[in-house]
Amino acid sequence: MRIQADLHVHTVASGHAFSTVAEIAREARSRGLRAVGLADHGPALPGGPHLYHFSALRFLPRVMDGVRILRGVEANPVNARGDLDLPDPLLARLDFAIVGFHEGCGLKASTPRKNTRVLIAAMAHPRVRILGHPGNPAFPVDVRALVVAARDRGVALEINNASFVNARKGSLETCHAIAAEAARVGAMVCLSSDAHVAQQVGEVTEAWQVASAAGVRPEQVVNRTWDTLVRFLELDPAEFETRPGAYR
């Protein structure tokens, strides 16, 4: 499976990632991607960007090196009510938000029932379109309840490639269970690299192995093509056309 859009990419703005937007766009182009989503960490993550980073995303060209640049965040729930570390007016300016648990962001891991409740509450924010690495064993979830809630809310469950390569050891079992449940109930899935350096952009080989082995069909993958992504995020494709006089 080749994806045309990778929505989970970190830049130097995350504080612990290594590539610039220009480097990421160049690499994405060479790999045949049509879009990348910048999903730098929300400000609650130690070393994460200031809130100004997210309002300044408007200065970025919509297309760089022929690759569409989507403005996003990997936001953190900061309390049991599912409030996020980015205020709603800032979220509203973005193309999408991923929500996922991370250590050190003020909310400790709890029981599967409570963790699930937080994620379901966070999905009430209209910009939240993807649950990031929900198979992370450090923050166990009630798989069935979470997948059904995501399906009902039209939110995609991420199968995160880094979880099988160099992060969140022990993710495989829960990721497989999430993918199997998504296949069973017809929830949407997002395949992501979680790249922290340009050379990882668009790399979802392991994620697709896990998802397809669990029965996920290509039609369930929201970032499979630019067109499926436009529909999923309700983007205005005209905004991403290169015009004379626009940045390139």
CB-wise, 116 or 163, nearer to Zn ion?
163
Closest-by-Cβ residue to Zn ion is 194
Supply the minimum distance, in Å, between the C-beta of residue 133 and Zn ion: 6
Contact call for residues 89 and 97 (beta carbons, < 8 A): no
Supply the minimum distance, in Å, between the C-beta of residue 110 and Zn ion: 18
> Where do contacts with Zn ion occur on this chain (CB under 5 A)?
74, 100, 194
CB-wise, 41 or 176, nearer to Zn ion?
41
Supply the minimum distance, in Å, between the C-beta of residue 38 and Zn ion: 11
Q: DSSP code of 50?
A: P
CB-wise, 100 or 135, nearer to Zn ion?
100
Contact call for residues 138 and 167 (beta carbons, < 8 A): no
Residue type at position 133:
H
- Mention every residue, 6+ apart, whose C-beta is less than 8 A from residue 195: 6, 8, 9, 10, 17, 19, 24, 162, 201, 202, 203
Supply the minimum distance, in Å, between the C-beta of residue 194 and Zn ion: 4
CB-wise, 194 or 240, nearer to Zn ion?
194
Q: Report phi then psi at 204, rounded to 5.
A: -135, 25
CB-wise, 136 or 240, nearer to Zn ion?
136
Residues in the chain: 248
CA dihedral 191, 197, 200, 204 (to 10 degrees): -10
Supply the minimum distance, in Å, between the C-beta of residue 98 and Zn ion: 7
